Structure 1
Amino acid sequence: MTVESLEANYGIAGSFDANDISEYYLDPVALGYEHIIDFDHDFIGKDALRDKVENPDRTRVSFIWNDEDVIDIYASLFEPGESHKYLELPNPTVAGPVAHYDQIEKDGDPVGILKEFGYLYPERAMIGVGVIDVELAEPGTEVTIIHGQEQSPRPSVERHVNTEVRATVQPSPLHKNRG
């Protein structure tokens, strides 16, 4: 990898603010890929990965955003005072290569990361995908997404304040067999 490579110039966006770069790394088990892991050969990290499969700490889920909170985000754009981070429909777009990380909280404690989000018309809802602590992955669990990036160094990000968005945990993928 060189300083000109895509990876070296990738930006990080969102409300999640880690103290160490390793906190942004997600393992294949948290991403929901354990069903394609093949342990029938030797590879570096095999024992650690097997331990993750047997004792996962986070898992991939969908987050259904609260409609009222999404409407409040848009309303803030037309009202005096501070606005919330703009949501583009159907999917947010960004200038340049950027990885998105919004913090997920339960009762004020960090419990996960929102990685992608967008409007899904068949559901008539804003939906996100991310990872959450295994014990909170039960469908229907209520969590809070901290949406925004108040101190963004990127000039393409409008001034805004972070906002709390209520969300409900659902499976990921949301629908396994949509016909």
Structure 2
Amino acid sequence: MRIAFLTAPEGVEQVELTDPWKALADNGHEPVLVSTKPGHIRAFHHLDKADTFPVDAIVSQVQAESFDGLVLPGGVANPDFLRMDERAVEFVRAFFTQGRPVAAICHAPWTLVEADVVRGRTLTSWPSLRTDIRNAGGTWVDEQVRIDRGQNLLITSRRPDDLKAFDEAILTEFSGAGHNR
């Protein structure tokens, strides 16, 4: 499966990008780094600058139908930058419109809120997003991983400490019957 990882040019939490990326790549999937600008993105370890990663595609030049799924890594700044970019928001919204699976961790559901796709869904996130999710019509739960099988598969997780469970969920659900249910 070809899986888009959408990030802003800077601010993504590195481990929330690299762990799911490695899990998917090691299991035969093709991760693709999509960003709002060409070149490289700058990852962070919480608030400290970390590594850079080459951008494979620019969100304004790709379509959701070119991918089998979407992963939204967190970091505090990353989803805040993405939600201010209409092309990024529309790209996310298209996965829901087309019934394609989406996975989001930590602060990444902010982008889902902006895309207006959480109404009627149950998800988890970093705890500070619970009011935003509720105000957008979603139900927030404090769980390591939450799988919601609404109009499309939505996998959410709370924080970097939950990455093992998040990775297992995306591998199971993106690889098999989970996204076809």
Give the TM-score normalised by the residue count of structure 2: 0.22
Structure 1 or 2: more helix by fraction: 2
Give the TM-score normalised by the residue count of structure 1: 0.22
